[in-house]
Chain A
Amino acid sequence: MTVDDEEVRHVASLARIDLDDEEVGRFAEQFDDILAYFEALEDVPDVEDDTELANVMRPDEVREGLTQAEALRNAPETEDGYFKGPNVS
């Protein structure tokens, strides 16, 4: 399989990460090697996963959480007690 620059750009847009042209070229080459290596997974036999999983439940009780100031403390931009995101045009 070959990964081309176009495919790397498509995945980068799905992942919401801008890349410069140099990175795109380098990643295309590296992804080729890495995905070729992952091909070995095709030979894995079917195995029943018999892990026993149990739900862990607790009563839904009100308890203290973060204050508004604590929650907003790390935000690059806030306004009137809200997080401020990019404008929507």
Chain B
Amino acid sequence: MSHNAFITDARIDGEDTGPLAGLTVGIKDNISTAGVRTTCGSATLAEYVPPYSATVVDRLLEAGATVVGKTNMDEFGMGTTTETSAFGPTENPAAEGRVPGGSSGGSAAAVAAGEADVALGSDTGGSVRCPAAFCGVVGIKPTYGLVSRYGLVAYANSLEQIGPLAPTVELAAEALDAIAGPDPRDATTRAPPEGTETDYPAAADADVEGMTVGVPTELVEGADDGVRTVFEDALDELRARGASVEAVSLPSVETAVQAYYVIAMSEASSNLARFDGVRYGTDGEDGEDGTEGNWNDSFAAAREAGFGEEVKRRVLLGTYALSAGYHDKYYKRAQDARAWVKRDFEEAFESVDLLASPTMPVPPFELGESLEDPLRMYLADANTVPVNLANLPAISVPAGETDEGPVGVQFVAPAFGEATLVRAGSALE
């Protein structure tokens, strides 16, 4: 049955040989594919066909993968359920009647349903890890700067990274291997420091003997009982394999969701200014609605017609947070909160090798459940957003199920510690 995982079916053949030869990939629809429409889940880009491909797409094709389609997503990546897509919601193949998570819900659903071997998502505040957790697949959010964002339609540049989703840790690691590395077209990319372990697939050896895993109490206390039970079982599994587990504290995460939303919305209000209906996107000018002759009225009409409600909400709140009189109160304080989160993680990594928590504090929502209350949806991101604020890498791996659907465990490592994440993640398979 169809879960509406794809917005567009399209086949792009890759090289005949390579580490990913014979594998099919789904590409989140905010990642540009030359000649194949790229909608960002938005009505405004329903007809938009990019003239060039994202670096990650070229790299997957060079590695031998075959693109099979563009996957559904929350509009411009703004959502935790994939229900804000202008192309209808995606259903969770692993939990009937429930959302696949978001915003890369189509990518996770395509992998969970076997409609693609691997998929790419983008993670601004959890948008790879949340759907991976809800659909029972693996998702990796790389260190900021490991993977090129060239060709990714920007939502919040300072936070987002493209990352792979796959049924196994090793396959996700192989896809990461193919897309990682500096790109002259994205000046925020950089090479890992000298001596860093970068053979990610080889790290899927489940060898956690002697590893020290920190558990931030703040990220476990708020989780549902069923989620906590699955998480505790996962910690037991790590202990059984020779890892030691200790509690740590990250006081700064108490204001991480606020900081995340202020920063993401502010960056979005600037980034989405480009959708004015002149170079691309829906056109606001028809001369019949009184907009003829006024640029601002014409743009405002184009944007009303092209944007869904969640996008309007975030652009407006971002505009508000950056407007005269409020900048210091919201944006500047959010940057302080971001620096605080970074420092907290740095201090935690002085005593532990990696951190573990439930990826999502809750099981997958029922379809339609969270749409009426945006704040409730934002709060579900509590465990994933601190990682983006601190520019760190993280993985979500399936750890079990509750009656309401799959549960994911999140590991977080120091910058460029992807190999450690793959190692720990493979220990739970």
Contacts and interface: CB of A to CB of B under 8 A. Distances in A.
A17 B303 contact: yes
Contacts of B255: 40-41, 43-44
A74 B279 contact: yes
B300 A17 contact: yes
Interface string B295-331: 1101111011001010011011101110100000110
Interface string B62-80: 0000000000000000000
B258 A16 contact: no
A35 B278 CA distance: 33
A21 interface: no
Nearest to A45: B340
Nearest to B272: A15
B228 interface: no
B236 interface: no
Given A23-B309, A87-B292, A49 B342 contact: yes
A34 B316 CA distance: 12
B296 A16 contact: yes
B254 A40 contact: yes
Interface string A34-55: 1101101111111111010000
Q: How large is the interface on B (under 10, 10 to 19, 20 to 34, 35 or more residues)?
A: 35 or more
A17 B337 contact: no
Interface stretch (B46-54, B103-111, B201-209, B397-405): B46-54
Interface string A41-85: 111111111010000101000000010001101111100000111
Given A38-B258, A73-B49, A74-B47, A47 B340 contact: yes
A6 interface: no
Given A30-B375, A31-B320, A51-B342, A75 B279 contact: yes
Given A17-B300, A75-B279, A66 B51 contact: yes
A38 B333 CA distance: 10
Given A47-B336, A76-B283, A86-B292, A16 B299 contact: yes
A11 B313 CA distance: 11
B240 interface: no
Contacts of B317: 31, 34-35
A26 B375 CA distance: 13
A17 B281 CA distance: 14
A17 B313 contact: no
Contact of A70 (B51, B187, B319, B378): B51
A28 to B, nearest CB: 11
A45 B281 CA distance: 43
Contact of A23 (B47, B254, B312, B375): B312
B285 to A, nearest CB: 5
B139 interface: no
B278 A75 contact: yes
A61 to B, nearest CB: 11
Contacts of B188: 56
A48 B375 contact: no
